[in-house]
Amino acid sequence: MSAPVAWTLFPLTTLVSLGASALLVIRLERVAARLGFREATLGLIAALAADGPEITTAITGLLRGQREVGIGVVLGSNVFNLAALLGLGALTAGRIRLHRDVVVFSGFVAGAIALVSVGVASGTLGAGTALGLSLVVFVPYVAVSAVSPSTLASWPVPSSITGRLERAVRDEESELAEAIHPRPGGRIDVALAALALGIVIGASVVMERTATDLGTHYRVSAIVIGGVVLAAVTSLPNAVAAVYLARRGRGSAVLSEALNSNSLNVLLGLLVPGVFVGLAHYGGAGLLVASWYAGLTAVSLVLAYLGRGLGRVSGTIVVCCYLVLLGVLVAR
């Protein structure tokens, strides 16, 4: 593909993909509301739909043999999410207030999946093993988010633990209820969601191809194309939504969006396709981004826990960590 054609198609397909992703979020939320899902589950569904461009772009790269691009999109998006959703959110809002139970509840799962991604990047874990380990922590997290307090209380778990889990979910839901308030949908919403999903997939395929061709033309490394350019572009909807929520004081919703988005990116954009096409060739740059993602996840959670939220100082630290990674990748 010639450079002029690629320059024309890349911004066009980017806009189409992001627009279709926004439509997908709205319609899936309405379908989920019709099915009676709780707010925490609605938040997961919204995060999954908003991750459509990242996940489909990453899968496209992996299927085309552009493993550094696919890996870079997933892990680069995750680092960008932490910087844009948590760091930039804290800077623009002044402070993101968080209860420690929420940080522990969401952070345990996100931290575990981040560590698994490093294990895969280093060659210690295979894609299948990594997927199994990730599901061991992610499935219970989804289950806790989906069940009612009375059901949670009946589980064979110490009451002190179920009490903290219930408080964490309740706090998250109280904010998501104001941020996500769809009306119940119908068949038209199902049809439009399916159409939007198809558009997201098609546009993301073209977006990945044009970005890769432009990188080849200008001799830009695949990890920079995937981990910087595509990662930032495909994560913009999440960043805008997080800044909006942060400015309205919805700290738990911001943290949930950032960490759930990252976990879903790894699961669906990296590990599931990796089981079928393999992930043996991470390379040094891929391991670097995976380690940075895990490290910045830990830094963000520690700062949030110790400070009962994130302020401008901690937000600056998170953003600066991301900028350092950009400098390292560009300089390679």
pLDDT at 118: 92
Collapsed DSSP state (helix, strand, coil) of residue 118: helix
Which residue positions in the chain have pLDDT lower than 50?
none
The answer to whether 56 and 64 have CB atoms below 8 angstroms apart is: no
pLDDT at 132: 95
pLDDT of residue 211: 86
**CATH code at position 7:** 1.20.1420.30
**Helix crossing, 67-81 with 236-247: angle to 10°?**
10
pLDDT recorded at residue 249: 64
pTM of the full structure: 0.83
The token pair at 191 is 């049809």
CA–CA distance, 244 with 31 (Å, rounded to integer): 24
**Residue 166 lies in domain:** 3-331
CA distance 295 to 311: 19
Share of the chain above pLDDT 70, in %: 82
**pLDDT tens per residue across span 45-62:** 777 777 778 888 888 877
Give me the number of domains the chain comprises.
1
Instruction: Write out 233-299 in H/E/C secondary structure.
Output: HHCHHHHHHHHHHHHCCCHHHHHHHHHHHHHHHHHHHHHHHHHHHCCCCCHHHHHHHHHHHHHHHHH
Predicted local distance difference test score (pLDDT) of residue 121: 85
Cα separation, 261 vs 91, whole angstroms: 20
Compute the distance between CA of residue 301 and CA of residue 47 in angstroms, rounded to an integer. 19
Q: Are 290 and 103 in contact (CB under 8 A)?
A: no
